[in-house]
């Protein structure tokens, strides 16, 4: 059982389950039926139908990892700037992991967390818009903590235990994340946008490095990641020009 968390609002309201199909699905239902407090978290020790981006599924062994969803109301953020929330969440996970892992951490655009070339965290954000503003955000996170064997066809998973050689306290890692999210979210609310964007780029996987990428048509090209646009498209400098790519329009060749 998760005990009281030392934060102002993130995780203060906690819905904890032994088993749940999907914490994001539960959060969606909760939002439809009530008005949960900002920072409400839904966490389960066994998420048996978790989803990743698009049609991907998220593998998580029971009682080994952290699978949870946080509800936020970023109504102060214009819809065109919603990628800033993505950056905040990514940095919150990154800074949580950095307290345990010394080397190799990076943010793989748009919001996967990597240790060198292995994926340690998946993030799925579902925003609800009203007009030109954000109304709510459902932020699902799957963080590999103590799992050491992966049986799915995911190409490159890793975990905190595999990277550190230690079994971690799940509650301590979860509490650290709640504190980091609250800190970064309040920073966003205080309009400290430049600092957020700079840190995101500084920790971006392959930033300013020459590497190969694959377009939707299958062609492979060489380029350098130079940043992201305001709406979150990836900017890659190729031999002839700078191009922008939306999610799923380009793949990393690892």
Q: Which domain holds residue 90?
A: 14-202
Task: Examine the pLDDT at 160 and tell me if it is beyond 50.
Answer: yes
Domain count, the chain: 2
Please state the rounded mean pLDDT for residues 84-112.
97
- The predicted pLDDT at position 217 comes to 96
Looking at the structure, tell me whether residues 170 and 244 fall in a common domain.
Answer: no
Q: From residue 162, give the alpha-carbon distance in Å to each of 81, 119, 149.
A: 36, 12, 9
User: How many secondary structure helices (H) and strands (E) does the chain include?
Assistant: 5, 12
Residue 3 lies in a domain: no
Looking at the structure, tell me whether residues 141 and 216 fall in a common domain.
Answer: no
Looking at the structure, tell me whether residues 231 and 195 fall in a common domain.
Answer: no
The CATH code of the domain that includes 230 is 2.30.30
- The predicted pLDDT at position 214 comes to 97
Looking at the structure, tell me whether residues 78 and 176 fall in a common domain.
Answer: yes
Looking at the structure, tell me whether residues 129 and 221 fall in a common domain.
Answer: no
Q: Would you say 138 and 28 are in contact if contact means Cβ atoms under 8 Å apart?
A: yes
What band does 254 get if pLDDT is binned at 50, 70 and 90?
A: confident
Whether omega for the bond prior to residue 8 falls within 30 degrees of 0, making it cis, is no
DSSP summary character for residue 73: -
- The predicted pLDDT at position 56 comes to 58
pLDDT digits (tens, 9 = 90+) for 12-64: 999 999 999 999 999 999 999 999 999 999 999 999 886 655 445 668 899 99
- The predicted pLDDT at position 54 comes to 46
Tell me the β-bridge partners of 139.
Answer: 70, 125
Average pLDDT, the chain: 94
Beta strand 105-108 with 112-115 is antiparallel
Residue 160 lies in a domain: yes
- Full DSSP string of 92-124: HHHHHHHTT--S-EEEETTTEEEETTEEEEEEE
Looking at the structure, tell me whether residues 152 and 215 fall in a common domain.
Answer: no
Looking at the structure, tell me whether residues 19 and 107 fall in a common domain.
Answer: yes
- The predicted pLDDT at position 58 comes to 67
Dihedral over Cα of 38, 44, 49, 53: its sign: positive
Looking at the structure, tell me whether residues 135 and 218 fall in a common domain.
Answer: no
- The rounded percent of the chain whose pLDDT value lies above 70 is 96
Residue 1 lies in a domain: no
Looking at the structure, tell me whether residues 166 and 228 fall in a common domain.
Answer: no
Looking at the structure, tell me whether residues 106 and 198 fall in a common domain.
Answer: yes
The CATH code of the domain that includes 192 is 3.30.930.10
Chain centroid to CA 250: how far? 19
Beta strand 250-252 with 14-17 is unpaired
- The rounded percent of the chain whose pLDDT value lies above 90 is 88
Residue 182 lies in a domain: yes
Residue 145 lies in a domain: yes
Please state the rounded mean pLDDT for residues 102-115.
96
Looking at the structure, tell me whether residues 168 and 235 fall in a common domain.
Answer: no
pTM listed for this prediction: 0.94
Looking at the structure, tell me whether residues 179 and 54 fall in a common domain.
Answer: yes
Q: Would you say 59 and 154 are in contact if contact means Cβ atoms under 8 Å apart?
A: yes
pLDDT digits (tens, 9 = 90+) for 191-229: 999 999 999 999 999 999 999 999 999 999 999 999 999
- The predicted pLDDT at position 3 comes to 79
Q: Would you say 252 and 206 are in contact if contact means Cβ atoms under 8 Å apart?
A: yes
């Amino acid at each position: 059982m998760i005990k009281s968390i030392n934060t102002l609002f993130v995780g203060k309201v906690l819905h904890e389950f032994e088993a749940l199909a999907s914490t994001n699905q539960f959060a969606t239902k909760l939002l439809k039926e009530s008005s949960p407090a900002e920072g409400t978290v839904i966490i389960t020790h066994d998420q048996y139908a978790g989803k990743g981006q698009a049609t991907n599924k998220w593998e998580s062994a029971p009682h080994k990892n952290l699978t949870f969803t946080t509800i936020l109301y970023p109504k102060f953020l214009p819809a065109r700037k919603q990628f800033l929330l993505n950056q905040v969440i990514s940095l919150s996970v990154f800074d949580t992991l950095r307290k345990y892992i010394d080397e190799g951490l990076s943010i793989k655009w748009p919001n996967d967390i990597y240790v060198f070339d292995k994926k340690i965290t998946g993030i799925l954000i579902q925003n609800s818009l009203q007009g030109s503003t954000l109304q709510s955000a459902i932020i699902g996170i799957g963080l590999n903590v103590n799992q050491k064997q992966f049986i799915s066809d995911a190409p490159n998973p890793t975990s905190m235990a595999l990277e550190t050689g230690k079994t971690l306290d799940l509650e301590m890692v979860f509490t650290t994340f709640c504190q980091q999210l609250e800190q970064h979210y309040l920073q966003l609310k205080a309009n400290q946008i430049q600092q957020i964007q700079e840190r995101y780029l500084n920790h971006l996987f392959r930033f300013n490095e020459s590497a190969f990428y694959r377009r939707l048509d299958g062609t492979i090209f060489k380029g350098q990641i130079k940043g992201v646009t305001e709406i979150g498209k990836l900017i890659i400098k190729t031999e002839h020009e700078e191009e922008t790519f939306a999610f799923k329009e380009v793949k990393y060749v690892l």
